[in-house]
Structure 1
Amino acid sequence: MSTVPATIHLGRLWGIRLGLHWSVLLVVLLLVSAVGMGRFPLAYPGYDSWAYVVAGLVAATLFMLSLLAHEMAHALVARREGQKVEGITLWMLGGLASLKDRSPSPGAEFRVAAAGPATSVLLGVGFLLLTWFAVVVGAEPLIAGVPAYLALINLILAAFNLIPAAPLDGGRILSAALWRRWGDRHRAAVVSTRVGRGFGFALILLGVVTLFDGDTGGLWWMLVGIFIVVMAQAEQRQSELGAAVAGLRARDVMTAPPDTADGSVTVSDFLHATALVRRHSTFPLVDEAGRFQGLATVDRLKSVPLAERAHTALREAAWPPSEVPKVEADDPLPDLLSVMGEQADGRAVVFDQGRLVGIVSPSDISRAMVLHGRGVQR
């Protein structure tokens, strides 16, 4: 499961990196406007404007925390199932947990997918109990209205996510069920993503009809529908590619030995004396002891200002080791595909017992598929 780039990094929780995309600020403003200045004044009249704004801010903040809890549930269960979890990013259309490899079994996929909606249901029930408590103790109607709204929105979130259409959680549950029944992960994923695309197009159509009726809320349905269609298509392509390279390992597709470079050389010297005469555009950096120091790509080096190239070392301008996707030589190719494209211009480096033995680029993947006679159906 991929994620969107985080604009604001919030640190880590239980070892999982948390981030916010800038679009979350837009969502908070929209929620404060729609809930704090629209829903609450109609449902609970008689308060000052500032009270509605504060109530809207509290509701928006707790809603984003609810989304975080939903995604955190996915991430924690995935980690318990043996999957690698890169991080969680909250953005305009909710949250995305970035999982770096595929579920090992239909049961694991089901448990990971079901964890999110289950958490949303628990939150909805919890907010309902909080609403009941606020009413019992005689709290102001507006105060009781905040948890009531959050109970409703969490239950709606759970119900929406349980729709059996990828990339929604319900689509992953459907995929897990079909995978168990047919014993074919790829076939199950394709069916789920096709249902997801159909559902997405239905939401787009609903949005268009709603707009023609004069309701601007149709724009939101169109946006959600477009997101579902795009994500479903991406998941289908990923599944098809995974099926095409099944049985291959990183060592089968890597370029070996890798064309390395000395990280202490300046960017200027490297671009003029080395990069122009070598056939590669990406170079792993190693020190005298053979230790990996980063990954230099020509595109990244060209971004160094001309005035700084003569006194900037390659390792200072290259992708740092922590941001370069790494795999072991015997890792299955689908696991390699799941980490490629995060950083380092779509490249990954391959190690064998701690020793750098190869590098993989998108062209290496394409070449391997041709050589092994494997095609991806379109």
Structure 2
Amino acid sequence: MSAIEARPRRGGLHLFGVEIRINLSWLVAALLIGSSLASGAFPQLYAGLPPQSYLAMAGIAVLGLAVSIVLHELSHTLVGRAFGMRIDRITLFFFGGVAELRDEPHTPLSELAMAIAGPAFSLVFGLVLAVVAGALHAMGASVIVINAVTYLAGLNIILAVFNLAPAFPLDGGRVLRALLWLVLRRQDTATRTALAISEGLALLLMGAGLVVAVRGEIAGGLWWVIMGWFLRASGRAERASLKREPAGGVEAAREG
């Protein structure tokens, strides 16, 4: 099978036989991110450019972010397939991306390898983009392209580090469970322990967000509260799934 299938199946692009879908919430997030970059982050980072330059940089950055997320999830997918797991679809949504698994990894080593693949890719990809930005600068390329690529390089490195936070459904939560699984020798016990740690981190994020909001940084504080709420809700959904007996196959979701 070719890496990219031209024919649509259920309306999605295909990479390595994996369907790529875009949830409506991702389009909302893209608009919010693009607007924030064009009106706030880029004018502060690269002052003195005309407004249309910031809009162009924001467009490149948002498109690059979407590609980065898809490639991050695809790295999970390819490693998972190497361990015999079936992964048919990747979906972009408000908080990032999700690779949808038919079942959970069967060994702690397969869990660990699959979980670490995404952050490892993002880190390497960020470093590669930094080198590309330097090369573009040396060649005298457009400052718009150079600045956008530089921003994407830093963003991929930040995403790699953030995704290693020990909280479900982040990759770090899966890494934590895999390590606990290796030590405790029981997947269910490892999962419950990892979920308890994850919920504690989520509550900490929400509390920190409230403190930041009270101090006057309402937008930043609200973002941390939303992230904490999302992590807590995802952890509770994972805990609820432990109580359900699978009928045939279990479809799990891995987020990165």
Q: Which residue of 1 aligns with 2:238?
A: 235
Contact 1:125 1:151 in 2 (8 A): yes
Structure 2 counterpart of 1:96, one-letter code: V
Q: Which residue of 2 aligns with 1:176?
A: 178
Equivalences for residues 143-182 of structure 1 within 5 A: 143-182=145-184
Q: Which residue of 2 aligns with 1:207?
A: 209
* Matched pairs, number: 242
Using the TM superposition, give the Cα deviation of residue 75 of structure 1 relative to its aligned residue in structure 2, in angstroms: 1.3
Partner SS state of residue 119, structure 2: helix
Separation of aligned partners in 2, 1:335 and 1:149 = 46
Q: Which residue of 2 aligns with 1:79?
A: 81
Separation of aligned partners in 2, 1:140 and 1:46 = 15
Query: Which has a greater percent of helix?
Result: 2
State which structure, 1 or 2, has the greater radius of gyration over its C-alpha atoms: 1
Structure 1 counterpart of 2:224, one-letter code: W
Using the TM superposition, give the Cα deviation of residue 37 of structure 1 relative to its aligned residue in structure 2, in angstroms: 2.1
Contact 1:203 1:225 in 2 (8 A): yes
TM-score (norm 2): 0.89
Using the TM superposition, give the Cα deviation of residue 126 of structure 1 relative to its aligned residue in structure 2, in angstroms: 1.1
1:336 corresponds, among 228, 248, 251, to: 248
Return closer, same or farther for 1:171/1:97 CA change in 2, 3 Å cut-off. Answer: same
Return closer, same or farther for 1:167/1:227 CA change in 2, 3 Å cut-off. Answer: same
Return closer, same or farther for 1:132/1:339 CA change in 2, 3 Å cut-off. Answer: closer
Deviation by residue 1:152-194 (Cα, 9 ceiling, x = unmatched): 1111111011112222111111111111112100000111111
Using the TM superposition, give the Cα deviation of residue 44 of structure 1 relative to its aligned residue in structure 2, in angstroms: 1.9
Equivalences for residues 14-53 of structure 1 within 5 A: 14-53=16-55
Separation of aligned partners in 1, 2:120 and 2:145 = 26
Q: Which residue of 2 aligns with 1:226?
A: 229
Using the TM superposition, give the Cα deviation of residue 137 of structure 1 relative to its aligned residue in structure 2, in angstroms: 2.2
Contact 2:69 2:97 in 1 (8 A): yes
Aligned-pair Cα RMSD in Å? 1.8
Separation of aligned partners in 1, 2:129 and 2:76 = 21
Separation of aligned partners in 1, 2:12 and 2:127 = 28
Q: Which residue of 2 aligns with 1:109?
A: 111
Separation of aligned partners in 2, 1:29 and 1:211 = 23
Which deviates more, 72-81 or 138-147? 138-147
What percent of counterpart residues are identical?
33
Return closer, same or farther for 1:209/1:136 CA change in 2, 3 Å cut-off. Answer: same
Return closer, same or farther for 1:218/1:86 CA change in 2, 3 Å cut-off. Answer: same
Using the TM superposition, give the Cα deviation of residue 139 of structure 1 relative to its aligned residue in structure 2, in angstroms: 3.3
Using the TM superposition, give the Cα deviation of residue 111 of structure 1 relative to its aligned residue in structure 2, in angstroms: 0.8
Q: Which residue of 2 aligns with 1:96?
A: 98
Q: Which residue of 2 aligns with 1:185?
A: 187
Using the TM superposition, give the Cα deviation of residue 224 of structure 1 relative to its aligned residue in structure 2, in angstroms: 1.2
Q: Which residue of 2 aligns with 1:61?
A: 63
Separation of aligned partners in 2, 1:83 and 1:338 = 12
Separation of aligned partners in 2, 1:238 and 1:123 = 34
Separation of aligned partners in 1, 2:243 and 2:189 = 9
Partner SS state of residue 13, structure 2: strand
Contact 1:175 1:188 in 2 (8 A): yes
Structure 2, unmatched stretches of 5+, are 1-9
Separation of aligned partners in 2, 1:162 and 1:239 = 23
Structure 2 counterpart of 1:64, one-letter code: A
Separation of aligned partners in 2, 1:232 and 1:89 = 19
Partner SS state of residue 338, structure 1: coil
Q: Which residue of 1 aligns with 2:3?
A: none
Q: Which residue of 1 aligns with 2:198?
A: 196
Using the TM superposition, give the Cα deviation of residue 94 of structure 1 relative to its aligned residue in structure 2, in angstroms: 0.4
